[in-house]
Amino acid sequence: MSTIQTPLPGFEAALIGLAALAVVTAQFLWPFAEHVNVMTHEGAHAMTASMLGFPVLGIRLNQDATGETSYLAPASGLRRTVTSFAGYLGPSAFGLGAAKLIVLGHITAVLWLSVVFLVLLLLNLAPASFGFISVPAAIAALCVLIRYGSAGLMSSCPTA
């Protein structure tokens, strides 16, 4: 069995594009997109801090689509600057990486990597964070998509 999926039919690709357009133009859907952006932003801070040797103390995701990542680091220095800057590149970097994997035919891998990153985010949430609602909801949405998406996605997923 091949792990590379076939390209989406044009109609399905157009529907996905229209759904993305709806999310960014419909005011009632925009807060959901903002929360996903904050998850990625704060996750990038935490991942970079961890890779640069700073212990991550916790990530707080707030209901108003803001967040904060706490980590032990000196007050200044190159590693601190890189860690602070990384959050702003996180959403774009993840999107570019996902797009490249999709172009290479690894659609399911993108979804599973998203689930893995969200689980890591969930494990690092600070107490009383709104993330305890939004992150599991995002994980559940991805799992539903993986399980019940198109036939091409379903054929590569384990069945229960």
Q: What is the pLDDT of residues 10-41, one digit of tens each?
A: 887 788 889 888 888 888 888 888 999 999 99
Residue 98 lies in a domain: yes
Range of the structural domain that residue 71 is part of: 28-154
Please check the confidence at residue 150 and state whether its pLDDT lies above 70. Answer: no
**In the chain, how many domains are there?**
1
Residue 13 lies in a domain: no
pLDDT confidence of residue 82: 95
Calpha distance 145→19 (Å, rounded)? 14
Distances (CA, A) of 13 to 20, 39, 94, 154: 11, 25, 20, 17
Residue 16 lies in a domain: no
Residue 159 lies in a domain: no
pLDDT confidence of residue 49: 95
Structure tokens at 29: 């859907």
Which of 17, 96, 94 lies closest to 48 in space, CA to CA? 94
Which of 18, 15, 21 lies closest to 33 in space, CA to CA? 21
Please check the confidence at residue 117 and state whether its pLDDT lies above 90. Answer: yes
Residue 3 lies in a domain: no
Whole-model pTM: value is 0.80
Residue 104 lies in a domain: yes
